[in-house]
Structure 1
Amino acid sequence: MTRVAVLGAKGRMGSEAVRALEAADGLEVVAQIDVGDDLDLIAAAGAEVALDLTQPDVALDHVLWCIEHGVHVVVGTSGFDDTRVATVGGRLGASPEVEVLVVPNFSVGAVLMMRFAAVAAPFFESVEVIEMHHPDKVDAPSGTATRTAEMIAEARRAAGSPELPDATTTDPGGARGGVVAGIPVHAVRARGFVASQEVLLGGVGESLTVRHDSHDRASFMPGVVAAVRAVGARPGVTVGLESVLGV
């Protein structure tokens, strides 16, 4: 049995993850950590893996604590950006046996959507990302949208694609949205959404839309279980669920 600690265990994702992990073969939730709890409970419970589903402002401290104590970490906290990943990578040098797996999105469908978009991006002149989440989400753009834009940008660089065409010269209201790695990204926050994203690709005379919708947080649980089972196999820092799924 792999002994697992869940951080953010009382949140929407955390409580769902606890139920999924407890129902999974070979996994045992030995600690449920939430606001105000001492991280020493992780070590006291003998946890081998920590699943962090907290907030960006505290997640990095949690990860660094786990590295120091030899605990593998799966980070499912949205907004765990490149700066935080670099900090983790630097700290892992002193703990080469520990793996930190950063997962922008646990949905298998979302992982495939990101991969399909990256494959298609060099074949189209234009590409933009639109992400749609519930209004209780604190970060924008989402970690999934950021990761998608980075994957698209890398695919276009590798293919020698030109810059995206855009004749906009005035945008006082920010209608064109934000830019991540040179890719326009738009964030929608509206009640009724859980997590949706579409990538719009356009060329002369045609367009392609790649879209994924999560209607319930249950859609993330197979990915959560797969990540917790797999973490530790590749010491160091890994970003994305792709390597776990073999995509």
Structure 2
Amino acid sequence: MTIRVVMAGATGWVGKALVPAIGAQGDMALAGAVSRSSAGQDSGLLVGMPANGITVSASLAEALEVPSDVLVDYTKPHLVKDHALLAIEKGRHVVIGTSGLGATDFGEIDAAARANRVGVIAAGNFSITATLMKRFALMAAKYVPDVEVIDYAGAKKPDAPSGTARELAEALADVRKASTARPVSEVSGVPGTRGAAVGSGEGVQVHALRLPSYILSCEALFGLPDERLTIRHDAGSSAAPYVAGTLLAIRRVHEITGLVRGLDALMD
């Protein structure tokens, strides 16, 4: 069976890599593409490949008028939730690569997906090596309770923390034991410099740096008396690392009802 895919954010950084990759798969076909700034143009030509006959739509609603199976969203934080809910309402499975959603947003998406009996896979990072970083950090958190996350990204990134760091911190908060650090409420000076707690319970402190020259990096720092462990992932300037993970999610999302967060849920 051919999986018919609608690509929202088709002319974005990751979208430009995914459009030709989807077309090259024997079990997938591009059914629609969304980019408001490039509406009316051929999606193949826009990403530097031969014309593919798929005209870019100005809105997701327009793209979903054509039969399809899966929406892949790599757009903007203020668009992704509405996109996901619309696609779910129309009976499509959804793969979310856009960051910026919180626990409440994911709860609404999960409820809608279950009500409509479709699957949603959302990951802060679809890179295989970033997924391994999360897995190794969760292994360490079972033995080392003190952990904080540093999130690095370019100066113009609109959301903080990144989806990678947020997903990691939320997962760490669910498995690690109580921190031995002084509670932020007891810190004098400028308590905000201790970062923000992300995740359930006391959460995990996350520090977001936004500086030129960074693409996306994420560190989980663990500490015990007289020893430290750092687990870090660095992304390069190419979107290629995110393609394989997204293609895996497209192939597996129909097996799910409701929301699954993190590519690691599919790796085994």
Length-normalised TM-score, structure 2: 0.84
Answer yes or no: is 1:142 the counterpart of 2:162: yes
Q: CA deviation digits over 1:9-43, x for unaligned, max 9? A: 11112212212222233111121102271324333
Q: 1:227 aligns with which of 241, 244, 249?
A: 249
Which of 194-203 and 37-46 deviates more?
37-46
Does the 8 Å CA contact 2:76/2:98 hold for their aligned counterparts? yes
- Using the aligned pairs only, state the percent identity: 35
Q: CA deviation digits over 1:27-74, x for unaligned, max 9? A: 111211022713243333321111011112121111111111111110
Distance in 2 separating the partners of 1:134 and 1:23: 31
Q: CA deviation digits over 1:167-192, x for unaligned, max 9? A: 76224273222221221111111222
State the match for 2:23 in structure 1. 22
Answer yes or no: is 1:109 the counterpart of 2:116: no
- CA gap of 1:245–1:122, structure 2 versus 1, over 3 A, is closer
> What is the deviation of 1:106?
0.3
Q: Write the letter of the residue equivalent to 1:101.
A: I
> What is the deviation of 1:226?
0.8
State the match for 2:182 in structure 1. 166
> What is the deviation of 1:8?
1.1
- CA gap of 1:73–1:135, structure 2 versus 1, over 3 A, is same
State the match for 1:6 in structure 2. 7
Answer yes or no: is 1:190 the counterpart of 2:243: no
Q: Which runs of 5+ in 1 are unaligned?
A: none
Distance in 2 separating the partners of 1:60 and 1:145: 19
Instruction: Determine which structure has greater relative contact order: mean sequence separation of CA pairs < 8 Å that are 6+ residues apart, divided by chain length.
Output: 1
Length-normalised TM-score, structure 1: 0.91
Q: CA deviation digits over 1:209-230, x for unaligned, max 9? A: 1111111221111111111111
Distance in 1 separating the partners of 2:96 and 2:89: 16
How many residues matched?
A: 241
> What is the deviation of 1:198?
1.0
> What is the deviation of 1:125?
4.3
Does the 8 Å CA contact 1:106/1:241 hold for their aligned counterparts? yes
Does the 8 Å CA contact 2:153/2:214 hold for their aligned counterparts? yes
Q: Which runs of 5+ in 2 are unaligned?
A: 38-57
